[in-house]
Structure 1
């Protein structure tokens, strides 16, 4: 079996773009906009964990430092790669959203030490299955990947909308106004600026949106007070407990995450070699998650947070995302920096995220168009797969009556849409093979 598609002359400039190392005066602001766009995720993750698990201020502080540091370490590892760990593509790593929900569920039901042990088990399973990825890569043709990418964008828009609405389910006009101002600043910067300024459109939107939000009284820039982030502490919940039945939801998540990793690799590389890059990406996720299990964080996953920024700015350098990882490590180790990051108005972060995820959604539509999914049986397959992925997005309680261990899988739009597309595509391919075999058979 070949190791992957060869690089065409048309693809070589795009491949080289990931290797370009901008001068420091440009690299720093480009890296900073990645940090500002993604740093809200580890900060929010910690506070989502702290309340239901009743963490002490000391544990919360340690966990915040660990989440930022591991996000940075993972981003550097994915961007630069070391001995088969890391895709060597412009990726960033964050605590997984679905994985965080599973971590909280396990921690609430069995204790945080069991939740940390579950992270270790899930990471070990992911490491164990990556050698066999090359045998299943044929299940992910361009049409399936188009469905996956489209659903990634839509799912992330839903998550961002929840950041706007908060627990009440509706957004205040001033919150929507702040988000709209941020989107407007990004749009104007991308439309009218040139060169490095245009490439920093998201950063300009975050800074400009924050300034306008504060000036118009729509929100406040309020850096966190107190101790902020502290040095990560080893085993903050005590020795991790390995409980296989309790870990089952995270074990399932680690397997299904390969589908999302495949879509993200296609998104972030103009020369996708899935048999090579996805196992490298998954191994890096598993390695950093193993560290996270000992530092108290949920499963760490390579994220789509920055892919839209890469496309929006036109800068795909892995050195920029490595720089962003270094800044995150510094932010996790120096309390004042993490407090500043935590002070960004949520509505401003949400507005910037909406612009980024809108680009990803369009990319999914683009991929489906290139796969010519608009005619014949392929159209029905794509439509049914997207529908299966949208059902848990538009009706989150749809699978509420199912057993608790399977609900997180059924409730993931990306996983359900991808699995539906894979199964239907495989059935169609099998039917075509039987028809062609029957047609070739002698009378």
Structure 2
């Protein structure tokens, strides 16, 4: 399939194209970006603003060479919830800041030592099961949101019906959606579920009517909104996830290289894209938003439209910032019933888990090899089972963090470890060969 662009990376669209194409990217990321803060109790408006600011920072750091949009990361949902439960929003923001710092340090190391060492530490047999744990550990949250009346927190068939309608619509859009619609199944499913919720009377429009058109969100600033403190617990919550999401970032850059026809691993370099991702997360932490990651939804839009212009991505970022200050939109997001988000989450969290399975299949991990079987089994049971190591009340390693640590250690100490799969990196090399042929 030809990837000859209609607009290449540095081509400027005309004003009409710029407006419509940027809005298209905004809608592609909108559903997922607002769902994460909705689930962890942060502001969707700040999530939009931080995604826009983070994307602009990413474009600057990558020298305007990588047309990627950054939205809210699902991988950090459980750690943020745990951090908030332990010490409130300030603890969660400290953890998010730490995740950004880890990305910065990894970027520095990669700029000096290359990137293959990352995959030696985090091969698919480790990352795949950890991704499965990320998805399945959230399954109880999704089902609870779908089945219960959020006011009484008890089972409600009426509310569950809204979740099921939302889930069904999202599945239909995912499987049967045509053209651009297939890249916004989450947003489209939420819209259908919302309309159904209005019809059955579980939506309250009073906050929308009372909201102002222009409204400054409740930003969460360090030293002003909360006292800054870092604890070893936060390190243990966030560091393993930050390391694992590096593999996701590398995968996105390889796919994006293939779609666009430019080798982003070499130019501007993986260290720059990782630094851009980390900087976006740092910016988000300073204003009260969730960690950031490059979005597969927007890569999909690039693939189908063949419009790779960074100006279009920057336009989407500006729109996201503007939308975050429109009070009516923020209030409308808050009126989305919890079961609607629960219905979408059932599919999304399942897809996260399934993407871990897909990584294992695509990487041809041999489970006839007892070494691979042991590593995956230990990660899955420790992560999903909620195992923890408790040394003191203030110091414990639990859940996904413990599972990731066990996976990395087992991979390093068990005999028979293979070097990083060269196939993971051949994509970028083939892109370069194709470009120079």
Give the TM-score normalised by the residue count of structure 1.
0.69
Alpha carbons of 1:303 and 1:176: their partners in 2 closer, same or farther (altered >3 Å)?
farther
Task: Pick from 95, 102, 108 the counterpart of residue 131 of structure 1.
Answer: 108
Name whichever of 227-236 and 195-204 sits farther off.
Answer: 227-236
Q: Contact between 1:142 and 1:368, CA under 8 Å: does it hold in 2?
A: yes
1:144 maps onto 2:126 in alignment: yes
Within 5 Å, give how 1:17-36 maps onto structure 2.
24-25=19-20, 27-36=22-31
Q: C-alpha distance in 2, partners of 1:345/1:165?
A: 12
The equivalent position to 2:61 in structure 1, one of 82, 98, 102, is: 82
Q: Does 1:359 align with 2:351?
A: yes
Q: Does 1:350 align with 2:339?
A: no
1:421 corresponds to 2:407: yes
**Match in the other structure for 2:198:** 214
1:160 Cα deviation from its structure 2 partner: 2.9
Change (3 A) 1:154 1:223: farther
Partner of 1:37: 32
1:313–1:410 CA distance, 2 compared to 1 (3 A): farther
Give the TM-score taking structure 2 as reference length: 0.70
Structure 2: segments with no counterpart, 5+ residues: 259-263, 420-437
CA gap of 1:266–1:183, structure 2 versus 1, over 3 A, is farther
CA contact (8 A) 1:121 1:242 kept: no
In 1, Cα distance between equivalents of 2:221 and 2:134: 33
Distance across 1 between alignment mates of 2:161 and 2:276: 39
Which digits, 9 at most, give the CA deviation of each residue in 1:189-211, with x for residues without a partner?
Answer: 34444323444433322212211
Task: Name the CA shift for 1:41/1:201 in 2 (closer, same or farther; >3 Å).
Answer: closer
Query: Which is further off, 384-393 or 180-189?
Result: 384-393
Q: Tell me: CA distance 1:104–1:16, structure 2 relative to 1, closer, same or farther (3 Å).
A: farther
Tell me the equivalent position of 1:54: none
Q: CA deviation at 1:181?
A: 0.9
Aligned residues, how many? 392
Aligned residue for 1:92, secondary structure, equals strand
Distance across 2 between alignment mates of 1:118 and 1:376: 38
Q: Cα RMSD between the aligned structures?
A: 4.5
Secondary structure, counterpart of 1:224 in structure 2? helix
Q: Distance in 2 between matches of 1:405 and 1:392?
A: 20
Farther-moved stretch of structure 1 (346-355 vs 81-90): 81-90
Which stretch has the larger CA shift, 25-34 or 234-243? Answer: 234-243
Q: Please tell me whether the aligned partners of residues 375 and 411 of structure 2 are also in contact (alpha carbons under 8 angstroms).
A: no
Structure 1 counterpart of 2:365? 373
